Structure 1
Amino acid sequence: MIGESLVILGETKNLHLLLYIKKEVLQDKNLPC
């Protein structure tokens, strides 16, 4: 049970990280415009 919740925690952290990176990239693209 604890292991499964840790895996889910890790996956949600990775998802947030991906969304954050995506947002940063979009902001970087919008800067020159």
Structure 2
Amino acid sequence: MLTGLREIGVDLKEIAYIMVTHIHVDHWGGASL
């Protein structure tokens, strides 16, 4: 997730929180920080 945000030009220092609002229990590991 963080890599994707960097790729689109998001400055990660500007992010205080990331809220995952939707997961699938069979493939939610990609949201790990």
Specify if TM > 0.5.
no
TM-score (norm 1): 0.27
Looking at secondary structure, tell me which structure has more helix per residue: 1
TM-score (norm 2): 0.27
Greater C-alpha radius of gyration: 1
- Choose between structure 1 and 2 for higher RCO, CA contacts under 8 A separated by at least 6 residues: 2
